[in-house]
């Protein structure tokens, strides 16, 4: 099956506030997709729904054909925007933690990447800098051989050199059998890496287009289009 993520009239309401409004979406494997939109656009809500952290009000969301649950979590690798790892654990213990719970986790790869970035695996997470903690979390997420990677602001608080490393890792990890969904504000830095972009605003999908289509048809970059569409 080539469709890895599907939303059918996905709606989420909090009281009178509608975070997602009848969203319809179908993403194929083998793509790197950018999820773009201003704060409050529904990006976070969509990400939470696909990860089973939030139950939809109505409609459906399917990951690899599964409703969010144990099976979908097995094939979805999630990188949250915040640090979700237990602070007290050592880096090495965290690698084994992921290895314990995820059958698709590639332990050797994780250790290699940690070595590349010169991260001391014997240190406790709480003794590492914020940037390093984020890198550890990213490495753990990318070390899984998942069908869908959901990366929420992966290059946010990271220095340019590490940013390059992260983008190269995403490209290196690329597989025709998987899709990578990147939610970010930093469009300029990842434009060349994207196949497709989704523009979300006020809970609605304003745009779902192949990146080169945008460049060909409108003669502008995704970044420029974003500024145009989301003008304040």
Partner 1 sequence: MWEFSTDRPIYLQLMDRLQLRIVNGTYQPGDKLPSVRELAQEASVNPNTIQKALSELERSGILYTQRTNGRFITEDAAMIDKLKSQLAEEQLVEFLKKMKDFGYEPKDIITLIEKHSQETAAD
Partner 2 sequence: MLGKLLKYDFKAVSRYLLPIFGLLLISTCGTKLTLELPENNLVKVFRSVFLIAYVISLIAIGAGALIILILHFYKNLMTDQGYLSFTLPVTPTAHLASKLINGTIWTLLTLVAIFLSVLLLTAGHIGREEWTILKDLFDSMLRELHAIGFTNGKLLFYLITFPLAGTIGSQITVYFCICAGQLFSGHRIIGAFVFYFGVYVVNQVVEVVLLMLNGKLFAQLTLSSDFTGVGTVVGNLMIQSLLFSLLLYIVLFFVTRYLLNHKLNLE
Q: Which is nearer to partner 1, 23 or 225 (CB)?
A: 225
Which of partner 1, partner 2, none interacts with 131 (beta carbon under 5 to 8 A by kind)? none
Distance of alpha carbon 128 from alpha carbon 230, whole angstroms: 37
Which strand (E) or helix (H) includes residue 149? strand 148-152
55 binds partner 1 (CB under 8 A): no
Token code pair at residue 170: 């995403």
Token code pair at residue 127: 């003794």
Say which residue the tokens 């990400």 belong to. 47
Percent composition of the chain: helix, strand, coil (DSSP 3-state, to 5): 40, 30, 35
151 binds partner 1 (CB under 8 A): no
Which strand (E) or helix (H) includes residue 54? none
Task: Show contacts with partner 1 in window 199-218 (CB under 8 A).
Answer: 211-212, 215-216
Distance of alpha carbon 78 from alpha carbon 220, whole angstroms: 31
Which of partner 2, partner 1, none interacts with 108 (beta carbon under 5 to 8 A by kind)? none
Q: Which is nearer to partner 2, 147 or 197 (CB)?
A: 147
164 binds partner 1 (CB under 8 A): yes
Least distance from C-beta 113 to partner 1, angstroms? 15
Candidate list 115, 126, 130, 168; residue touching partner 1; CB under 8 A: 168
85 binds partner 2 (CB under 8 A): yes
Indicate the SS3 state at residue 5. Answer: strand
| CA dihedral over 24, 155, 136, 161, signed as positive or negative | positive
Token code pair at residue 169: 């890792």
Closest CA to 80 of 28, 134, 31, 8: 134
Which of partner 2, partner 1, none interacts with 188 (beta carbon under 5 to 8 A by kind)? partner 1
Distance of alpha carbon 206 from alpha carbon 222, whole angstroms: 14
Candidate list 7, 10, 32, 146; residue touching partner 1; CB under 8 A: 32
42 binds partner 2 (CB under 8 A): no
Q: Which is nearer to partner 1, 29 or 206 (CB)?
A: 29
Candidate list 174, 185, 186, 229; residue touching partner 1; CB under 8 A: 174
3 binds partner 1 (CB under 8 A): no
167 binds partner 1 (CB under 8 A): yes
24 binds partner 2 (CB under 8 A): no
When computed from its CA atoms, the radius of gyration of the chain, rounded to whole angstroms, is: 18
* Residue ranges in contact with partner 1 by CB under 8 A: 30-32, 164, 167-168, 171-172, 174, 188, 191-195, 211-212, 215-216, 219-224
């Amino acid at each position: 099956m080539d469709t890895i993520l599907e939303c059918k009239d996905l709606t989420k309401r909090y009281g009178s506030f509608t975070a997602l409004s009848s969203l319809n979406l179908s993403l194929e494997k083998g793509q790197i997709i950018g999820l773009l939109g201003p704060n409050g656009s529904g990006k976070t809500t969509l990400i939470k729904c696909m990860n089973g952290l939030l139950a939809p009000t109505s409609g459906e969301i399917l990951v690899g054909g599964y409703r969010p649950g144990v099976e979908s979590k097995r094939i979805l690798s999630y990188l949250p925007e915040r640090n979700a790892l237990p602070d007290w654990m050592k880096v090495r213990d965290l690698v084994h933690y992921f290895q314990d719970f995820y059958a698709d986790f590639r332990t050797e790869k994780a250790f290699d990447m940690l070595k590349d970035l010169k991260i001391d695996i014997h240190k406790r997470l709480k003794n590492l800098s914020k940037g390093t903690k984020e890198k550890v979390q990213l490495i753990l997420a990318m070390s899984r051989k998942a069908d869908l990677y959901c990366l929420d602001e992966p290059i946010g608080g990271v220095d340019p050199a590490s940013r390059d490393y992260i983008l190269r890792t995403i490209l290196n990890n690329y597989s025709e059998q998987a899709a990578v969904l990147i939610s970010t504000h930093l469009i300029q830095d990842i434009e060349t890496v994207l196949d497709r972009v989704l523009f979300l605003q006020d809970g609605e999908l304003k745009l779902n287009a192949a990146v080169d289509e945008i460049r060909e048809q409108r003669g502008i970059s995704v970044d420029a289009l974003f500024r145009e569409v989301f003008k304040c």
